[in-house]
Structures are given as structure tokens and as C-alpha cells.
Amino acid sequence: MAKPKKKINGYINLIIPAGAANPSPPVGPSLGQQGVNIMEFCKAFNAKTEKMEKGMPIPVKITVFEDRSFDFILKTPPASYFLKKVAKVQKGSGTTGKEVIAQVRMSQVRKIAEEKMPDLNANDLDAASKIIAGTARSMGIEVVEG
């Protein structure tokens, strides 16, 4: 006999640095409004992300159930995080389209696309690479062949 499904009370989407979830904002207030045990979530999140690079921004989708229990799914870090890391820049261009702040090779874009593939709305690696290249352009990073 299948066990009965819990009734979902809501979803919370957050971006939390890997291994650094704590009860301070934005985590505490977001979970507190739904009545979730904040420390339990922080311990579970930090345990799941302890092997990742410290400080890497991890998008997380938290499903809150009616009995105030929760479940969460970790996503891959944003493409902009990987692009900034590869291009060795602190932030994207302030004047996109007018100013090129860095260059990345298409091979680097493909590598990022491979890593992001589970979270992208793309059927193959070429389409995923185009999505990442578009993100790079919008940040003022030029994509060159190679």
C-alpha cells in the first residue's frame, strides 16, 4: 500500500551560499513565516553542501508541507557565477552592449553548459551553450571561438 501524500503548504525559493545557511535573513524570516524549523533546515542544507566550494551560491527550492515538515531540492549555481569565475571578473558590465569587460572561449561556455544542463530548458548541449553565451553577452563578456 502506498503511503499517503502530505499536503503541500507552499514553496520557498532562496539562493544560499554553500555550507553557510544560518537563521539570519534571508533564511530565517522566509522559513519562519511558513512555520518551518529553521535550525533543522540549516543543518540539513549545510550537510548536503559541505563538499561544495564554500560560498558558492546555491539556489534551493524548499517545499513546505502542512505538518510544517519540509523537503528541498538543490539546483546548480547561476550561470553568471561560473562566467564571472572563468572570466576572472568581480561583476558584469554596467553598460552592457557598449563595454566588453572580458572574454571567454566557446570551450569554456560548453563546459559551463554541461554543468548547468540539468537546470536549463535545453534539449542538447548546443542549445544549452547558446543560453550560457547569451548570459555572457548580457554581462558584457564576449564569447570567442576556441
Q: What is the pLDDT of residues 90-134, one digit of tens each?
A: 887 787 778 888 888 988 989 989 888 888 888 888 898 998 988
How far is it, in rounded angstroms, from Cα 103 to Cα 2?
53
Q: List helix spans (H) across the chain.
A: 27-34, 38-49, 79-87, 106-116, 125-138
How far is it, in rounded angstroms, from Cα 116 to Cα 123?
12
Q: Enumerate the CATH 3.30.1550.10 domain ranges in the chain, comma separated.
A: 8-74
Residue 36: per-residue pLDDT: 85
Q: Enumerate the CATH 1.10.10.250 domain ranges in the chain, comma separated.
A: 79-144
User: Which CATH code is given to the segment(s) 8-74?
Assistant: 3.30.1550.10
Residue 81 one-letter amino acid? Y
Topology given in CATH for the domain delimited by 79-144: Arc Repressor Mutant, subunit A (1.10.10)
How far is it, in rounded angstroms, from Cα 134 to Cα 37?
39
How far is it, in rounded angstroms, from Cα 53 to Cα 76?
12
Per-residue pLDDT band for 52 (boundaries 50, 70, 90) equals confident
